[in-house]
Structure 1
Amino acid sequence: MRVLFVVFPWRTHLQHMVPLAWALQSAGHEVRVASGPELTDAVTASGLPVVPVGSDEPVIAKVEREQGEMYQKLVEAHGEQNDILVDVCEDREEVLTWERLRWGSRFLAATSRASNDAMVEELVEYCRWWQPDLVLWDWLSHAGAIAATAVGVPHGRMRTELAVEDRARRLFLRMRQEQAPADREDPLGDWLGEWAEKFGAEFSEEMVTGQFTIEQMVGSMRLESQSPHLPLRYVSYNGPSVVPHWARRDPARRRVLATFGLSLAMDPATAASSLQQLQGMLDALADLDIELVMTLPERFQRELERVPDNTRMVEFVPLHAIVPSCSAVIHHGGVPGFLEAIAHGVPQLVIGRAMTDIGERGPRLERSGAGLWIRGDAPEDLDGERVREQLVRLLEEPSFREAAGRLGEELAAQPSPAEVVRDLERIVDRRRS
C-alpha cells in the first residue's frame, strides 16, 4: 500500500513519525513524507522520500503573525489585563466559560491556519495524482486530514503529547449547542469545513480527531478519547547523530542530563527556563557529586558567566545514547526526553510549562512516582535551589527509580512499529473490501 505522512515543518514533530515510517517501508510499503520546504533536509536525512509542499516562509513567522493578530483582537475585546486564555489543561467546567472556550478555539484555529494553509492545495494535488491508500498526519498537521478527506482515503492522527485539546473541544462543542444560533461559531470546524467544501467534500469531526489515533504516550498516562486508539511503543529517533567518545563509557560519577529541546534556540521568549535561570541552576548544582551534562546552543554557552567543574556543556547529544547511563534527567517537558527517560527507567525532573499538555502530564508523572514537576508559575519557583532540592530527591530516594522502571516495562509492552503496521494494513484492507 501507499502511505503518506503529513507533518507541518517542525523537526520534533517529524521525528516521532520516523520509526513507524521506517517500519512501513521495511514491510514493503511505499512511503512518502509531505511537509513545507524548510523541513526537506530533515526528512531526507531520515532516509525517507520527501514531498515539499507550500511556501518557503518559516512556519514560526506565520504562527507568530496569526497569533499576534488574534491576540490583538482579544485585547480590543477584553483589555490588556485579562485572563481569558487559560491553561489548555484546565478541565473545571465552572472555570471554563463559553467566552474562554470560544477564544481558545479561535487561537487554535489561528495556529492551525498558520501551520497548514500553505501546504493544502499542493498536498491535495499530489494526493489526487499519487493516490495514497492511507494518510497519517501529525496531530497539529490538519492539512493531512483535509487532503485525505478531499480524495476519500482513510486517515489517522499521530500523537505524542496528551490529548488535552480533544477534551477542551468536547466541552466547547457541548457548550456551543447551548448558545443562541447566531452565536454558535466554531473557528476550527469552520476553517476545516471551508477547505473541505473547496474540494467537494464535507466537514466532519474526523477532520479534527482523525478516524483513529496512534499514540506513543505510555498507556497509564493517556487521556480517554472518543477516537479509536492504536498504542505504539516509543522508539528513539533524534535525527542524524554521532555518539561522542565521552558517552561510550560508564561515567565515573552519577550522570545527570539537563536538556531543554529547541525552545531556547528557536524562540527564547517561550523557553521553559531563561539563561539567567540556567546559570542559577548550574551554580546550585556545582557542589553535587555528579557529572552534569547540559545541552545548550553554543551561542548561549558563551553568555554564561560560569560553568562549574562538574558540568559538561554540549550542543547536542542523541538522547538514546546517553539517557541509559543517567541517574536522572532534567528537561522542559518535551515528549522525546519524557519518553526516553521512561523507556530506560530513569527518574526525571520536568521544569516549567513550555509544553501545552504539561499541566496534565506533570501531575500524572508525580502520581506515578517516576519523577517530579516544578510548575514555575512564579519566577522564584524555577530558582537553582528549588531545582537542586528536587534533583537530590530523585538521586537519593530509591522509590523514584523503582517507579520509573515500572513505567518503562509498561511502555516496552506497547505494540512495536512493526506490529502497528499490521493494524494499519487491516484498516486499509477493510476500506478496500
Structure 2
Amino acid sequence: MRVLFTVASDAGRLHNLVPMIWALRTAGHDVKVAGRPDFTPVINRTGSIAVEVGAPGDPAWLADASAVAELTEFAEVWRPDVVIADDRAPAGAVAAKATGAASVRVVGPAGPSVQTSDGVATDMTLDCLPPSLRQPGGENGLIRYIPYTGPAVVPGWLRRKSRRDRVLLATTDPAVCAATFDAVSGLDIEVVWAGTPDSAGPGARIPANVRVVDTAPAPAVLPTCSAVVHDGAADIAFAALAYGLPQLAVSTRELPQLVRDIAETGAGAVVELPAADLGERINALVADESLRAGAARLSAEIEAMPKPLDLVPALAALAAACA
C-alpha cells in the first residue's frame, strides 16, 4: 500500500503524525510525506521521505493553489492508495479526490481547524481527543496520542533521581517565567525549565530550586516528573495527559479551550496572571490527590484508544474499498 501524508509547515503537527508514519512503514507500506520546500528538512529529521510541493510561504496551512496543483500532479504519477492529511493541510483531500485515493483527515491535540478545502469530503477522520474531552455525538475515529518531539538525547542530569517532586515548567513567555519563579521560591519541589537566564525576562530572579537546562525533551523528562506547568500549548498539555501528570496552564491572556476543558475534567487547572495564589496552585499539583486521580483517568482513556499500528488494517480496508 502506498500512503501519502500531507502536513503544514508546523513541527508540532508533523510530530503528531510521526507515530502513524512509523506504524505504516513498520507494517511494510511505502510512505512519503509532502510539505513545503522550506519544511522538508524537518520532515527528513523524522526519518521520512519528503516530497516538495508548493512554494515557501504560509506555515499555518497547506491549501494554496500551487500546493494543491503540485500535490495532485505528484499523486497522479505516484498513485497513492491513501492520502492522510493533517487538519491544516486540506490540499491532501483535494489530491485524493482527484486521483481516486482514500482520504483520511487527522485532527491533532489542538482540535479541528476551519476547513479551506472547498468542501471536499474525506473518507475517514481520526481524532486523538480522549472521550472525556470530545463533544457528544462525534463520529470521528479514535487514534491514541503518542508524544513525539523530534530527535532528543536524555540529558546527563536525568540519570540522578530527584530528591523532591519534579515539576516541568514549559514556557518561553517571560511573564509566565517570572511569575512562576517568584511563586515556587521556597516550595519543596524541583522545577526544571529549558531556557537561559536572559530569556526569563528583565529582572527575573531564578530561585535555587529551579534547574535551568539547555533542553528538556518531554518524552525524556516527563516520566520523571510529578506535574507540569505550561503556558497553554496543546502539545505539552497532551503530553502531560499521556503521562498521567496533573497540569497548570498559566498565561497573561485567555487560555485555549483545550486546557480549560482539561481543567473541567479535574486533571488540572488554569490561571490568568497576575495571580496572588500561584504558589498554592503549583503546590497543589503535587499535593492534591484529586488532581492526580483526574490526570490518571485521562491517561487511562488515552491508553485505551487504538494505537497507530492497530489502525493499519482499517486503512488498508479503506484503500481497498475506494479502489
TM-score (norm 2): 0.91
Aligned to 1:218: 130
- In 2, Cα distance between the equivalents of 1:304 and 1:141? 42
Residue number among 362, 367, 377 corresponding to 2:259 in the alignment: 362
**Structure 1 residues 388 and 120: alpha-carbon distance in aligned structure 2, compared to 1, 3 A threshold:** same
Aligned to 1:236: 147
Equivalences for 1:28-67 in 2 at 5 Å? 28-57=28-57, 59-60=58-59
- In 2, Cα distance between the equivalents of 1:286 and 1:302? 17
Q: Offset of 1:248 from its aligned partner?
A: 2.3
Deviations 1:161-216 (A, max 9, x none): 364657xxxxxxxxxxxxxxxxxxxxx6xx644xxxxxxxxx54x1xxx3221111
Larger Rg over CA atoms: 1
Task: Classify the secondary structure of the residue corresponding to 1:402.
Answer: helix
- 1:286 aligned to 2:286? no
Where does the alignment leave 5 or more consecutive residues of structure 1 unmatched? Answer: 64-111, 167-187, 194-202, 265-272, 377-381
**Structure 1 residues 162 and 56: alpha-carbon distance in aligned structure 2, compared to 1, 3 A threshold:** closer
Equivalences for 1:139-158 in 2 at 5 Å? 139-158=87-106
Q: Is the 8 A contact 1:333 1:353 kept in 2?
A: no
- In 2, Cα distance between the equivalents of 1:425 and 1:350? 40
Aligned to 2:4: 4
- In 2, Cα distance between the equivalents of 1:152 and 1:138? 19
Deviations 1:1-53 (A, max 9, x none): 10000001111110000000000000010000000122212111111111111
- 1:259 aligned to 2:156? no
User: In the alignment, residue 368 of structure 1 is paired with which amino acid?
Assistant: T
**Structure 1 residues 403 and 14: alpha-carbon distance in aligned structure 2, compared to 1, 3 A threshold:** same
- In 2, Cα distance between the equivalents of 1:149 and 1:354? 41
Residue number among 154, 158, 177 corresponding to 1:247 in the alignment: 158
Aligned to 1:197: none
Q: Is the 8 A contact 1:298 1:315 kept in 2?
A: no
Deviations 1:100-138 (A, max 9, x none): xxxxxxxxxxxx57x644422211111111111001111
Task: Classify the secondary structure of the residue corresponding to 1:365.
Answer: helix
- In 2, Cα distance between the equivalents of 1:224 and 1:354? 28
- What is the root-mean-square deviation in Å for CA atoms of aligned residues? 2.5
Task: Classify the secondary structure of the residue corresponding to 1:40.
Answer: helix
Q: Is the 8 A contact 2:83 2:96 kept in 1?
A: yes
Equivalences for 1:415-426 in 2 at 5 Å? 415-426=306-317
Task: Classify the secondary structure of the residue corresponding to 1:17.
Answer: helix
- 1:306 aligned to 2:205? yes
Moved over 6 A (4+): 353-356
Aligned to 1:402: 293
- In 1, Cα distance between the equivalents of 2:200 and 2:83? 41
- In 2, Cα distance between the equivalents of 1:140 and 1:334? 17
**Structure 1 residues 165 and 236: alpha-carbon distance in aligned structure 2, compared to 1, 3 A threshold:** closer
- Paired residue total: 323
**Structure 1 residues 304 and 28: alpha-carbon distance in aligned structure 2, compared to 1, 3 A threshold:** farther
Task: Classify the secondary structure of the residue corresponding to 1:385.
Answer: coil
**Structure 1 residues 284 and 312: alpha-carbon distance in aligned structure 2, compared to 1, 3 A threshold:** same
Structure with the larger strand share? 2
User: In the alignment, residue 159 of structure 1 is paired with which amino acid?
Assistant: V
Aligned to 2:228: 329
Q: Offset of 1:419 from its aligned partner?
A: 0.3
Residue number among 394, 397, 414 corresponding to 2:305 in the alignment: 414
- In 1, Cα distance between the equivalents of 2:43 and 2:201? 31
- In 2, Cα distance between the equivalents of 1:13 and 1:157? 12
Q: Which deviates the most, 396-405 or 310-319? A: 310-319
- In 1, Cα distance between the equivalents of 2:252 and 2:88? 19
- In 2, Cα distance between the equivalents of 1:342 and 1:23? 22
- In 2, Cα distance between the equivalents of 1:6 and 1:321? 28
Q: Offset of 1:418 from its aligned partner?
A: 0.8
Task: Classify the secondary structure of the residue corresponding to 2:177.
Answer: helix
Deviations 1:245-304 (A, max 9, x none): 1122321111000113xxx5xxxxxxxx4x134212212212111111112367625856
- 1:430 aligned to 2:316? no
TM-score (norm 1): 0.69
Q: Is the 8 A contact 2:242 2:299 kept in 1?
A: yes
- In 1, Cα distance between the equivalents of 2:288 and 2:278? 16
Q: Which deviates the most, 298-307 or 28-37? A: 298-307
- In 1, Cα distance between the equivalents of 2:132 and 2:204? 42
Residue number among 244, 260, 279 corresponding to 1:388 in the alignment: 279
- In 1, Cα distance between the equivalents of 2:35 and 2:42? 10
Where does the alignment leave 5 or more consecutive residues of structure 2 unmatched? Answer: none
Task: Classify the secondary structure of the residue corresponding to 2:226.
Answer: strand
Percentage identity across paired residues of the two chains: 32
